Amino acid sequence: MKRRRLLFQKRIFLYQLKIYIGLRVVSGPLRETYLKEQQLKNLENGNQFTDEDNKEDLLEVDESKQLRSVFVPQAVGSQERLGENTAKYLLNLHGSSAHYEPKSRSMREDTIQMRNSPGQALEFKEIHTHVWEASEKGTDVHLQAAPSQAEMLFKNQECHTGEVRKCCF
């Protein structure tokens, strides 16, 4: 249905363009080559070459030349609409992570990005949280200043609380 509507709109546009611009007689080398071709065709067919036929044919050539050079505006696609563009940070979402709804432009459920973090990111987050809690209780440890000390404190705490069955030492 959209295609039919676009074709109809294109025809109307081209018709209005013809009225506005008017059909001019083609001039220059294109005219000369066209006239020679028409004379050869008429001689082969045995027809007489007249000025009236020439003018009508030139109008047809001019029309086709103008139609080729006309810029026809295209309809805006659904992906190009301003409201439906997806932000770059929403393109690479993991399947089990946050879910983005483009219609309401909102995020829902599971917005924690640490679940799909690769490598030791989750372990580093646990150590960071443990060091933060320990520094609040009064332990003098800093993760960026002494990362080895912070990691040893975390592993000792795991051994003492029984979360890890075997001791790290």
Higher pLDDT, 22 or 162: 162
Cβ atoms of 154 and 131 within 8 Å: the answer is yes
Work out the pLDDT band at 22, boundaries 50, 70, 90: very low
Q: What does the alpha-carbon distance between residue 10 and residue 87 come to, in Å, rounded to a whole number?
A: 34
Higher pLDDT, 23 or 65: 65
Q: Is residue 61 part of a domain?
A: yes
Strand ranges in the chain using DSSP code E only, listed in sequence order = 99-101, 106-108
Q: Is residue 135 part of a domain?
A: yes
Q: What is the pLDDT of residue 24?
A: 44
Mean pLDDT over 19-32 rounds to 51
- Residue ending a domain, among 36, 52, 69, is 69
Domain span at 60: 2-69
Q: Is residue 78 part of a domain?
A: no
**Tally of domains within the chain:** 2
Q: Is residue 151 part of a domain?
A: yes
Q: Is residue 154 part of a domain?
A: yes
Q: What does the alpha-carbon distance between residue 50 and residue 42 come to, in Å, rounded to a whole number?
A: 10
Q: What is the pTM of this model?
A: 0.30
* Angle between helix 2-21 and helix 51-69 axes, rounded to 10 deg: 130
Q: Is residue 75 part of a domain?
A: no
Higher pLDDT, 32 or 62: 32
Q: Is residue 167 part of a domain?
A: no
Q: Is residue 51 part of a domain?
A: yes
| Residues 62-118 pLDDT 10s | 555 555 555 555 555 554 555 556 665 566 556 555 666 666 666 665 555 555 566
Work out the pLDDT band at 23, boundaries 50, 70, 90: very low
